[in-house]
A and B are shown apart, each in its own frame.
Chain A
Amino acid sequence: MDAQETVISARGLTKRYGKKTALDNVDVEIKKGRLYGLIGSEGAGKTTLLRALAGFIPSCKGEIEILGSTGKGALRRARRSVGAFIDVPACYDELSVGDNLKMRGILLGKKDDERRLELREKFLLKNRHVGKRGLRSASLGVKQVTGIVAAMIGDPKILLLDEPLYGLDTDGLVAARDEFTKLYSEKGVAILASAHDPAELDELATDYIFMSGGRVLEQISADALGGKMAELGLETVGEYYASLTGAETGKGGAK
Chain B
Amino acid sequence: MIRLLKAQIFRNIRKPWFILVLALTFLLTVWIAVSPYRDQFSYQGFMNRYGDMSPATVSRFVLGESRPDLSISDIFDEYMLAHKDEHLRQAYLSTAMGLAILGCVLPAFFVGRELGKRKIRAVLIPGQSRAEVFIWIVVRYFLVAFIIITAVLGMIRIQWSVEPRMFDHSYMVNTQLRFVLYCLAVFSGMMFVTFLVKRPIPSAIASLAFVGLAVLSGKLIPSVSPVSELFMEAYWYQETGPEFWMPHVIASLIIIAVFIAASWLVFRRREI
Contact = CB atoms under 8 A, between A and B. Distances in A.
A94 B121 contact: no
Contact of B127 (A59, A79, A102): A79
Given A59-B269, A90-B122, A106 B127 contact: no
A106 B10 contact: yes
15 contacts: A56-B124, A56-B271, A57-B271, A58-B268, A58-B269, A59-B269, A80-B127, A82-B127, A88-B121, A99-B11, A103-B11, A104-B125, A106-B3, A107-B123, A108-B125
Interface of B: 3-4, 6-7, 10-11, 14-15, 118-119, 121-130, 268-272
A99 B121 CA distance: 16
Interface of A: 51, 54-59, 76-84, 88, 90-92, 94-95, 99-100, 102-104, 106-109, 160
Contacts of B3: 106-109
A56 B121 CA distance: 9
A84 B7 contact: no
Given A56-B271, A90-B121, A76 B10 contact: no
Contacts of A102: 10
Nearest to A83: B126
Contacts, number: 70
B271 A107 contact: no
Given A54-B126, A106-B6, A95 B11 contact: yes
A78 B127 contact: yes
Nearest to A60: B271
B51 to A, nearest CB: 55
A106 B14 contact: no
Contacts of A107: 3-4, 7, 123, 125, 128
A56 B123 CA distance: 12
Contact of B125 (A78, A88, A90, A100): A90
A92 B124 CA distance: 12
Contacts of B119: 92
Contacts of B130: 58
Contacts of A92: 11, 119, 122
Q: Which of A59, A92, A100 has the largest count of B CB atoms less than 10 A from its CB?
A: A92
Given A103-B11, A107-B3, A76 B122 contact: no
